[in-house]
Structure 1
């Protein structure tokens, strides 16, 4: 299906509007003129009828605005001097109309006739002085009819001229309107082909400027996303390649008796678990971002899950001589969420806190009006402001060189459930704040 261009559509619509406007004007004008012609003819004939009815002048001619002649009811002329007169042409016209309509009788009916290209209005009355004679009254309206034709021609010429002018105006106006759209369309096509440079055309219309700004913002975001994806895949490749290289190197060492069987199995098992954990995290993150995760939402008390996860990491806490503190309210602190997702959120945050804490980690649960706040804090090094947003990116390197996607998974889970996460940091404490809907 071929679609009409914007210029073509605008030209078509305005052409129809202009044509329809002049047609309405022309039709209205002709209706008014025709009514005026008929009214003038009727007035003239009725005046003549009144004069004839009130006169007592026999068969003498009536010289008013109408003309007349006398004939018999058998459609025979009374005056022989009509042979070469205009009355004879009118007589023949009356005869022709009589034949067409099976006779014309005296009445109040006014007949419209065209004779030799001239417009006449005709009325027949009985001669009040002679019942065997009819008087034919007729009035020529050719002057007004010709005026109407001339005005119609002028109106048609004006309409044609205006239509041509309108087409030219429409063409140039639509060209000035469609050129920026064509430029933006070409820009969008180039973006689709991989070009990531902003558009710098100068537009004077606010709507086009807004569209250009939105498209440039889109290009900037696409460029940032592509760079992030390249960075992500580079880091994924590195993270996957490192344990594989360790496994291959350990296997080769075992093959040439440079490593014991127990040592080799331990290394392979450890690196295999690392690969498994990384792949599982990647799958979880991709499903969360694609909103394709099947989750079992249930009511959970965050205090119970925090204590359970903290207990499972007691060994790590003891190895680093870290103290765990809990500041929990007595109120029920339940939310509706998938247990495995919340377990991963708390586990990732606690693992991150253990990695950076110096002496202690603190859990806080705080009730708000419509939200539940869960805060995990540690006394590690301060996170600078420029890193507070990017630490939630996938495989973002931390201050101690650690690369991972734990915080990215936390953010994806929180956004999936309509919650949020932010970080606050100062020289004495760093806190990750989770906000859940109650």
Structure 2
């Protein structure tokens, strides 16, 4: 059974249970409530007539009886018994056949049930009000209404209530059916889209329109499919680029090795071939080392050993290591340190490697000048590296930090990917953009933490 029908069935069963309990309670308390209301009505009308008769001193046999009949006009049968002194019947609406039974009941002070206002006369129950007349306990006004009529009223009201509740229940169940259907349909569609993800058809996944929490799930599924599609494409490009990067030096090594083996290269040519083999072997070793490092950075948890370091000191040490490359390209590097706190919590060796890749990339593309600015805020520290080169090609910018993506004068295409992995594992982020006038800007953002008092920043 589908979730649509299960929800509707559960709601219908719950509604039936509530209706059953409500009907039972209504049926139990409705008669008591009607009896109490009838008693109050008889009591109010009787006292009103008695007070009126006491004030006007009207005669009971004529004006009083007419007034009493007018007062007791109602849609229910009301019996009247007006007794004078010595239980003389002054007026009654009872048939003569029932009068003796009432007098006997009055004589016995009535056979009382659970409710003292209910009298049993013969085989019928009555709601009875017994009031003293003219402040004389021997003169009584007895008003009685049969309970049978109240029971009929209760049944009629109960049936009407049940009919209304039944109509409301059917309407509610139908409404619940359509509301549940509108909620479940997006889930069915989402199931189909998730099966596409299971089949790795990420590009075919569509955004399912929905509302509320289901809309959040739909957006998450769609975003996940897009991210998986992008990741799948990156993996495919990675394999293509990796195979290309590895194939080129391997072909050179194979060619010179076979040439030397077959005697094609001898003497100086053989020596040159050996040099090429060693050079390409070192290049292969460098590529494999960087691939292994990138895999470790993205997978292993205990690879980092962070400590407190000055960002300015780390940048200065990076520039010192790149001094030969700086002289080779004849580029000036200027550093603008911050005047406030610049202490970051990073792995020294890994972060230096990230800075070497970023600043080394700037050196290869700069014309004359590189500016490194360190800016410190309340919670974050930024290191901006800007060169005055040609900038980054717009089509390359979205993929700049992917594996084996390299621009002009690039090496292997893993340096920036490694730098981003290191910085992200340090709880920071690395961004790149083109400057307003010229060159490229690489921006490293790192969180600033309160430095413990017992820790010491390396000089």
TM above 0.5: yes
Q: Alignment partner for residue 399 of structure 1, among 400, 405, 408?
A: 408
Aligned pairs (5 A) from 1:27-66:
27-28=25-26, 30-37=28-35, 40=38, 55-57=85-87, 63=92
Normalising by the residue count of structure 1, what TM-score does the alignment of the two structures yield?
0.69
Q: Deviations over 1:101-156 (max 9, x none)?
A: xxx7999945676987x6556999xxxxxxxxxxxx99642122123223323433
Deviation of 1:421 (Å):
3.4
CA change 1:323–1:210 in 2 (3 A) is closer
- For residues 40 and 284 of structure 1, do their structure 2 counterparts lie closer, same or farther at Cα, with a shift above 3 Å needed? same
Deviation per residue, 1:346-377 (Å, 9 max, x gap) = 2212432343344x453534343345443444
Gap regions ≥5 residues in structure 2 = 47-78, 131-142, 449-459
1:355 to 350, 354, 364: 364
Q: Give CA-to-partner distance per residue, 1:358-405, whole Å, 9 cap, x none.
A: 4x4535343433454434444433323443332222211313465411
The alignment partner of 1:381 has SS state of coil
SS of the equivalent of 1:389 reads helix
1 CA distance for matches of 2:372 and 2:114? 109
Q: Which residue of 1 aligns with 2:69?
A: none
Q: Deviations over 1:292-330 (max 9, x none)?
A: 253222233344444444444444445x45244343549
Query: CA deviation digits over 1:205-261, x for unaligned, max 9?
Result: 687777656544443333222212211121122223333333333433333343677
Distance 2:42 2:437 in 1: 110
For residue 21 of structure 1, report the CA deviation from its aligned partner: 5.6
CA distance in 1, matches of 2:244, 2:115: 108
Q: TM-score, normalised by structure 2?
A: 0.67
1:341 CA displacement: 1.4
Q: What is the root-mean-square deviation in Å for CA atoms of aligned residues?
A: 4.8
Task: Map 1:17-28 to 2 at 5 A.
Answer: 17=15, 20=18, 23-24=21-22, 27-28=25-26
Q: Where do 1:263-282 residues align within 5 Å?
A: 266-282=275-291
Structure 1 Cα separation of the partners of residues 335 and 284 of structure 2: 36
In structure 1, list runs of 5 or more residues that go unmatched: 73-77, 79-86, 88-93, 95-103, 125-136
Which residue number corresponds to residue 132 of structure 1? none
Which residue of 1 is the match for residue 240 of structure 2?
Answer: 234
Does structure 2 retain, via aligned residues, the 8 Å contact 1:362–1:378? yes
1:269 to 1:42, Cα distance in 2 relative to 1, 3 A: same
C-alpha spacing 1:179/1:303, structure 2 compared with 1 (3 Å): closer
Q: Could you tell me whether the CA contact under 8 Å between 2:365 and 2:389 is conserved in 1?
A: yes
Q: Does residue 16 of structure 1 match 2:7?
A: no
2:147 to 138, 141, 145: 141
Match of residue 189 from structure 2: 183
- Residues 348, 37 of structure 1: CA spacing in aligned structure 2 closer, same or farther, 3 A cutoff? same
Q: Post-superposition shift, 1:41? A: 6.4
Alignment of 1:356-371 (within 5 A): 356-358=365-367, 360=368, 362-370=370-378, 371=380
Summarize the Cα distance change of 1:147–1:238 in structure 2 as closer, same or farther, 3 Å threshold. same
Structure 1 stretch 20-29 or stretch 374-383: which is displaced more?
A: 20-29
Change (3 A) 1:409 1:361: farther
Find the partner of 1:199 among 199, 206, 214: 206
Given the superposition, is the C-alpha separation of residues 28 and 392 from structure 1 closer, same or farther in structure 2, using an over 3 Å criterion? Answer: same
**Separation (CA, whole Å) in 2 of partners of 1:232 and 1:240:** 12
- Is contact 1:119–1:145 with CA below 8 Å preserved after alignment? no
SS in 1 for 2:350: helix
Tell me the residue number matched to 2:434.
Answer: 424
SS state at 1:353 partner: helix
For the residue of structure 2 that corresponds to 1:273, the secondary structure is helix
Find the aligned partners of 1:295 and 1:424 in 2 and give their Cα distance: 31
